[in-house]
Amino acid sequence: MRKIEYNISSGKSIDLKHFLITISMTSLISFLFLYIGIDNIIDTNLNLEEKIDQKKYYDTELQKITENEKIFEERIEKIKIKWNRRVVFANSVINSKVFPFIKLLEHFEEILPDMVQLNEIFMDSSKKGEIVISVNSYSIEKLYELYRKLIDNNLVIAAESENGGVYRSKLRVTLKK
Amino acid sequence: MKKEVIISNSILMFFAISLVLLLVSFVYSSVKTTSLEDLTEEKQLHEISEKKFATLKNNMKDWDNVEKEYLEFKDGMVLKFEDFSNFRKNLELLISRNLITKKNFRIEYKKALKNEYIKVNISMKLTGNYESFKKLINEIGKIDKIVYFRSVKMTGSESDVRGDFKMEVYLVR
């Protein structure tokens, strides 16, 4: 029996028009990819160069700042060695000078409820607003009203007593100046 | 037919190369952009350093002026030793003018700031009324020299107050 031989490509021919369109489209897309790719790389490199220049600028500036900082700090340190003790002294006496005794007294006058009498007040400018007061109250409610008003000032009730309807209380508070 | 195969293979090869290049460019770009973000951090660091430096510069200006300011303080705000007797007279006048009775008056001199100043501690036990004590405190506060109350203790009723006052005065020779 004779073997059948059949070549499928024989007699076939390429559709030239279709082939050319496919080739052109593929080429066009390839060129577009090539263009975008190269442009992307160039663009990135340009940005990178610009940033590298900026980085150099920042590095130089930072170095200058660090050097100047060192010079300034040394200078301040020298001045401080000579003057700091005096500056601390001057600031401390000025702070004592401006301690607001009157303002604190007026504050107590304002918040003291009726039927509560201020018996003693002690203010010390070195104790940062800590004040000791002793009061006499003819009503327990009024005494508690005073406590309520002082509660935000680190109120400490140091002593409390009652004698013949008179309530005595010794308080310590820290008022903001 | 062979010619067409060669052309189509070449075009496919070109397409593949372009595609690879495009992908590589995106990867390259994203890698480099990440490294650029680090630069933003450097920019912020630079701005922070500049601010810190500006503060230091101002601080240095202040310290450069410290000698002048301190001498102004010493000359202007501290009482001269020779003026202290006059100050005492005025203080006693101020006390009596406010109808306050002096019970006890104690003065103590001490060296201060390695002998640069003389610190005078004045303790006073006084009696008077509450309003006159307030006036006295107010008037002492108005004196433009380093003269101030260290502590104030008032005991008694409004019309009869016993005051225990501690004052500090700094003097310069």
Mean pLDDT of A79-87: 92
- Give a yes or no: residue A48 inside a domain: yes
Is residue B110 over pLDDT 90? yes
Q: How far apart are CA B57 and CA A76, in angstroms?
A: 10
Q: How far apart are CA B137 and CA A102, in angstroms?
A: 7
Q: Is the pTM of this model over 0.80?
A: no
pLDDT tier for residue B29 given thresholds of 50, 70 and 90 = confident
* Domain co-membership, A22 together with A57: yes
Specify the pLDDT at position A5: 62
User: Which residues lie across from B171 on neighbouring strands?
Assistant: B79, B118
Q: Is the ipTM of this complex over 0.85?
A: no
Q: How far apart are CA B167 and CA B97, in angstroms?
A: 19
CA pseudo-torsion sign A49, A51, A54, A56: negative
* Domain co-membership, A42 together with A70: yes
CATH number at residue A138: 3.30.1360.100
CA torsion A75-A76-A78-A84 (nearest 10°) is: 170
Q: Mean pLDDT for chain A?
A: 88
The minimal CB distance from A40 to the residues B8, B25, B59 is found for B25
Of all residues in chain B, the one with the smallest CA distance to A117 is B157
User: Which residues lie across from B166 on neighbouring strands?
Assistant: B123, B151
- Give a yes or no: residue A4 inside a domain: no
- Give a yes or no: residue A63 inside a domain: yes
* Domain co-membership, A70 together with A30: yes
Q: How far apart are CA B22 and CA A41, in angstroms?
A: 9
List all residues of chain A from 32 to 61 with a beta carbon under 8 Å from chain B.
32-34, 36-38, 40-41, 43-44, 47-48, 51, 54-55, 58, 61
pLDDT tier for residue B3 given thresholds of 50, 70 and 90 = confident
* Domain co-membership, A34 together with A71: yes
Answer for the pair A131, A142: CB distance below 8 angstroms, yes or no. Answer: no
**Paired tokens of B67:** 């000698």
* Domain co-membership, A112 together with A153: yes
Q: What is the DSSP letter of B81?
A: G
- Give a yes or no: residue A2 inside a domain: no
- Give a yes or no: residue A3 inside a domain: no
CB-CB under 8 Å, B43 with A37:
no
Domain count, chain A: 2
Q: If we measure between CA atoms, which residue out of A153, A155, A127 comes closest to residue B149?
A: A127
Query: Which residue range is the domain that position A142 belongs to?
Result: 101-174
CB-CB under 8 Å, A105 with B7:
no
Specify the pLDDT at position A58: 85
- Give a yes or no: residue A60 inside a domain: yes
User: Does B37 lie at the interface with A, CB-CB under 8 angstroms?
Assistant: no
Mean pLDDT of B53-70: 92
Is residue A177 over pLDDT 90? no
Is residue A8 over pLDDT 60? no
* Domain co-membership, A170 together with A123: yes
C-alpha distance from residue A40 to each of A44, A97, B74 (Å): 6, 71, 71
Specify the pLDDT at position B39: 73
Is residue A17 over pLDDT 70? yes
CB-CB under 8 Å, A9 with B32:
no
Alpha carbon of B73: minimum distance to chain A alpha carbons (Å): 8
B90 contacts: CB under 8 Å, gap ≥ 6: none
Provide the b/e sequence for B21-55 (b: ≥16 CB within 10 Å): bbeebeeebeeeeeebeebeeeeeebeebeeebee
Q: What angle do CA B69, B112, B163 make, to 5 degrees?
A: 100
Domain boundary among A37, A70, A98: A98
Mean pLDDT of B77-98: 93
User: Does A138 lie at the interface with B, CB-CB under 8 angstroms?
Assistant: no
C-alpha distance from residue A175 to each of A7, B135, B171 (Å): 109, 22, 31
pLDDT tier for residue B102 given thresholds of 50, 70 and 90 = confident
User: Which residues lie across from B165 on neighbouring strands?
Assistant: B124, B152
* Domain co-membership, A82 together with A106: no
Amino acid (1-letter code) at residue B23: L
Domain boundary among A47, A72, A98: A98
Q: What is the domain class of B79-172 according to CATH?
A: alpha beta
Q: How far apart are CA A20 and CA B55, in angstroms?
A: 73
* Domain co-membership, A59 together with A112: no
User: Does B148 lie at the interface with A, CB-CB under 8 angstroms?
Assistant: yes
Of all residues in chain A, the one with the smallest CA distance to B116 is A86
Alpha carbon of A48: minimum distance to chain B alpha carbons (Å): 7
Domain boundary among A46, A73, A98: A98
Domain parsing of chain B, residue ranges: 1-75, 79-172
Specify the pLDDT at position B65: 93
CB-CB under 8 Å, A94 with B149:
no
